[in-house]
Structure formats: structure tokens, C-alpha cells
């Protein structure tokens, strides 16, 4: 009798091991293919295996990534019902609670949440305007949507990336008014970051004061300090440019002999401008097919270069021969003017952050 019981036990264990091994292979295959249908089919198979709850949990993850919140909810409920691992059951229950915050307690906001996620993905690629306007319409049509404040943040970031800071500010302010409870912990820091990027440093300081997370507020304080240092640097660079322009005017007036002479020199296009402008126009045209913020910076730099080349050529037009010392000084001052004006151009739309990141990480990091 004892031998019979042992034999039955061994056969049962062998069958269970074989079922688990088969389920293991099926789970790995479905996971590798990202097949929600295959994972759900595996979870529905009976008898259950130790992969049943994992299959439902992975299916829920993939369904949420696909924007199908109702399906993700159903799969998580199955994961909880079939869970043999307490840790997995706790995670599934936590995910259900998070999905309820996204799509509503009974899934009533699932369709809106799916559209929200889809449009956020579209905003990040290509021309964001159509997706931004669609998301704006959804937010306006669903004022009680639980994640409306987050959708407003996405709209604000999209308009900011597109170069429309005024519209972006309107949506960030709407997000600030719409955020309540725990959502303020997400919205508040994002608004503070926007205000820092926008140069509204006093408003940013007030927004940072309302952030409760000490780590986040410290990071924001550091960003604010850098922004204040950059503001000081901008004032210094503007003063340098003003001094260079004043010196150029005085030099031109002295060498031309009269203001009419200055006008005659400036009317004639120097050879430097004829050489530079066609190249600058090509660069501006290429930049304008991409990011509008980058395009504006390139356009500003092209205009700055044209002005510097024009004035520089006018100053040297009547000087023959040009002494070596003057040539070196002239080139140095022109380079300082171009560098100062270029910094101001790329710092205007926070392009400086992109330049610094690209310098540190390389162009492939973006």
C-alpha cells in the first residue's frame, strides 16, 4: 500500500512538473512575442500552473501599454483570483487601484484614458499641433476626467516644445487649477520647471515653496539657482554687446568723417556679407524643416552673423593697409560679439539645455 501511494505521488509530481515546464515554455514564448491573446489563453488553461497568475499579470501590462485599460483591468482581476504568490497578488491589487485612478472605479473613463495616452504618444513625434488640438478637445469635453490635470500638462509641454510659450503657459495654469489631492505632487514640480524655463523666476520660487517632497524641491532650487545665474550672465552679455555697438559707431563716425559717410559705407554690401548670406539662408532653410525652437535659434544666429559681417566690413572698407594689430583686435571683438549674441539666441528658448546635454552625451542620446 505504501509503495502504491509513493508511486501515485511520484507520478503526480512528474505530471505537475511536465505541466509547469510546458507552461513555462508557453509563457516565455508569449512574453517574447508580446501576445496578449496567447498570455490570456495560457492564464485560462486548466488545471492551473504556477505560470497562470504571471500570464494574467503580463497580459494586463501589455494591455495597458496598448491603451486598452478595460482589458488590463479584467486581466488584473484574473491575476488576483488565480494568484498563488502573495507578492504578485499585492502588486496586482496595487495595479488595479492605479488603473481605477486612471480609468475610473468601474472603468467609465477607460476610453478617454486610452485616447489621452495615444495622443500623448503622437505629440512627441512629428508635428504636434493636430494631436494637441485633439487632446484639448477631449479635456474640454470631459471636465470630470480624473487625469485632466495630467492631460493639461502634456498639452502645455507640447506647445512649449512647439515654441508657443504663451499657449503653453495657459495650459500649465489650467493644470495648476485642476490638480487636487495627490495629483498636485505630480503637477506642482512640472509647473515650477516650466516657470524656470520660461524665465518667470519669482513665480517659480513661489511654486517651489508649495512642493512638499524635499528631494524634488532641492532639485528645483538648484535649477532655479542656475536660471538666476544665467539671467545675470545675459545682462552681462547685453552690456558687452551694447559697448561693442557703441564702439563700432564711434569708430565708423571717426573714420568716415561724417554721418553721411557712415551711411555710404553701410549702403555698400561688403564682400563678407555676399559670401556669408547664401550659406546662412541654406542653414536656416534646413533648420526650419525640423524643430521650430532650433529653427528660431538658427535664424537668430544667421541674422546676428549678417549684422556683424556687415558692420565689420563697413569699418574696414576705408582702411588700407590694415595693420596686423588692428586686424587681430577687430577679429577678436567680432568673435566676442558673435559668441555673446549666439549665447543669447540659444538661451532665449532654453536651447542651451539641449546644447549642454548633447555636448555631454553626444547627439545619439536624444
In this predicted model, what pLDDT tens digit does every residue of 55-103 receive, in sequence order? 898 898 988 888 788 888 888 889 888 888 889 889 988 888 888 777 7
Average pLDDT over residues 268-295: 80
Average pLDDT over residues 128-145: 94
Which set of grid coordinates corresponds to residue 297?
535659434
Q: Above pLDDT 70, what percent of the chain?
A: 89
**In CATH terms, are 2-103 and 128-223 the same topology?**
yes
pLDDT of residue 232: 93
pLDDT of residue 173: 94
Judged by average pLDDT, the poorest of 202-211, 288-297, 303-312 is: 288-297
Record: fold of 2-103: 1.25.40
State how far the alpha carbon of 62 is from the alpha carbons of 30, 100, 121, 131, 152, in Å. 11, 17, 16, 23, 25
Q: How far is 168 from 156, CA to CA, in rounded Å?
A: 4
pLDDT of residue 318: 65
pLDDT band at 363 (very low <50, low <70, confident <90, very high): low
- Answer yes or no: is pLDDT of 366 > 60: no
Task: Report the length, in residues, of the chain.
Answer: 366
How many beta carbons lie within 10 A of that of residue 55, not counting itself? Answer: 28
- Answer yes or no: is pLDDT of 136 > 90: yes
Q: How far is 193 from 156, CA to CA, in rounded Å?
A: 12
How does pLDDT run across 26-38, given as a tens digit for each residue? Answer: 888 888 888 999 8
pLDDT band at 334 (very low <50, low <70, confident <90, very high): confident
**Domain parsing of the chain, residue ranges:** 2-103, 128-223, 268-365
Nearest by Cα to 223 from 190, 197, 185: 197
pLDDT of residue 355: 62
Find all residues with CB under 8 Å of 54, minimum gap 6, and list them: 27, 88
Ramachandran assignment for 350, one of left (phi > 0), alpha (psi -120 to 50 degrees), beta (any other): left
pLDDT band at 6 (very low <50, low <70, confident <90, very high): very low
pLDDT of residue 18: 43
Q: What is the CATH number of domain 128-223?
A: 1.25.40
193, 157 contact by CB (below 8 A): no
366 vs 168, residue with greater confidence? 168
Long-range pairs of 178-185 with CB within 8 A, sequence gap ≥ 24: 178/148, 178/149, 178/152, 179/149, 180/149, 183/147, 183/149, 183/150, 184/210, 185/211, 185/212, 185/213
319 vs 364, residue with greater confidence? 319
Amino acid at each position: 500500500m505504501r509503495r502504491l501511494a509513493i508511486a501515485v505521488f511520484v507520478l503526480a509530481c512528474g505530471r505537475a512538473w511536465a505541466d509547469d515546464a510546458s507552461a513555462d515554455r508557453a509563457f516565455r514564448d508569449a512574453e517574447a512575442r508580446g501576445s496578449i491573446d496567447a498570455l490570456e489563453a495560457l492564464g485560462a488553461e486548466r488545471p492551473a500552473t504556477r505560470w497562470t497568475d504571471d500570464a494574467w499579470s503580463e497580459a494586463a501590462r501589455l494591455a495597458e501599454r496598448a491603451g486598452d485599460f478595460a482589458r488590463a483591468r479584467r486581466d488584473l482581476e484574473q491575476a488576483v483570483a488565480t494568484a498563488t504568490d502573495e507578492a504578485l497578488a499585492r502588486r496586482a491589487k496595487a495595479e488595479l487601484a492605479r488603473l481605477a485612478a486612471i480609468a475610473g472605479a468601474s472603468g467609465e473613463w477607460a476610453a478617454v484614458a486610452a485616447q489621452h495616452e495615444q495622443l500623448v504618444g503622437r505629440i512627441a513625434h512629428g508635428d504636434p499641433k493636430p494631436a494637441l488640438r485633439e487632446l484639448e478637445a477631449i479635456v474640454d469635453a470631459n471636465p470630470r476626467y480624473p487625469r485632466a490635470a495630467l492631460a493639461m500638462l502634456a498639452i502645455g509641454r507640447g506647445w512649449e516644445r512647439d515654441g508657443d510659450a504663451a499657449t503653453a503657459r495657459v495650459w500649465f495654469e489650467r493644470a495648476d487649477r485642476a490638480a487636487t489631492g495627490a495629483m498636485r505632487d505630480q503637477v506642482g514640480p512640472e509647473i515650477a520647471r516650466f516657470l524656470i524655463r520660461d524665465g518667470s523666476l519669482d513665480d517659480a520660487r513661489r511654486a517651489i515653496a508649495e512642493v512638499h517632497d524635499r528631494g524634488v524641491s532641492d532639485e528645483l532650487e538648484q535649477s532655479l539657482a542656475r536660471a538666476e545665474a544665467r539671467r545675470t550672465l545675459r545682462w552681462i552679455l547685453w552690456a558687452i554687446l551694447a559697448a561693442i555697438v557703441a564702439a563700432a559707431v564711434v569708430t565708423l563716425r571717426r573714420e568716415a568723417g561724417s554721418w553721411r559717410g557712415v551711411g555710404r559705407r553701410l549702403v555698400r554690401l561688403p564682400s563678407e556679407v555676399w559670401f556669408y548670406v547664401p550659406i546662412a539662408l541654406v542653414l536656416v532653410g534646413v533648420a526650419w524643416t525640423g524643430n521650430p525652437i532650433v529653427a528660431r535659434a538658427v535664424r537668430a544666429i544667421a541674422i546676428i552673423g549678417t549684422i556683424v559681417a556687415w558692420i565689420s566690413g563697413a569699418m574696414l572698407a576705408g582702411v588700407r593697409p590694415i595693420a596686423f594689430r588692428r586686424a587681430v583686435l577687430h577679429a577678436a571683438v567680432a568673435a566676442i560679439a558673435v559668441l555673446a549674441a549666439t549665447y543669447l539666441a540659444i538661451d532665449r528658448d532654453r536651447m542651451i539645455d539641449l546644447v549642454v546635454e548633447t555636448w555631454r552625451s553626444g547627439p545619439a542620446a536624444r
